[in-house]
């Protein structure tokens, strides 16, 4: 799994848990709907930290809580 795929999976997990739609996430972060869509489908080469931080903040978790997930286990991530 790539880092972008792991990020997308974690965001989707939290969206479902918190009952927030992709559209609402875009509104709250100020990101274009197409940007949110690309991120959630791991179609971007890399998301910048500002974009990631905006999304994490709007999901109502800390950065530590966000990345404290099995999807970010370095043994399973393709980071090259």
Residue 40's pLDDT is: 94
Hey, what CATH class is 3-76 in?
Answer: mainly alpha
Mean of the per-residue pLDDT values of the chain: 92
Q: Against a cut of 0.75, is the pTM above it?
A: yes
Residue 76's pLDDT is: 84
Q: Are 11 and 55 in contact (CB under 8 A)?
A: yes
| pLDDT tens digits, one per residue of 39-77 | 999 887 767 899 999 999 999 999 999 999 999 998 888
- Average pLDDT on 2-16 reads 94
Domain boundaries, the chain: 3-76
Residue 18's pLDDT is: 96
């Amino acid at each position: 799994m790539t880092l972008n795929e792991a990020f997308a999976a974690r965001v989707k997990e939290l969206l479902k848990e918190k009952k927030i739609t992709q559209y609402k996430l875009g509104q709250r972060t100020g990101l274009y709907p197409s940007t949110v869509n690309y991120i959630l489908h791991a179609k971007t080469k890399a998301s910048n930290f500002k974009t990631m931080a905006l999304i994490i903040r709007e999901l109502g978790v800390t950065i530590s809580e966000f990345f404290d997930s099995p999807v970010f286990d370095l043994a399973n991530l393709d980071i090259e």
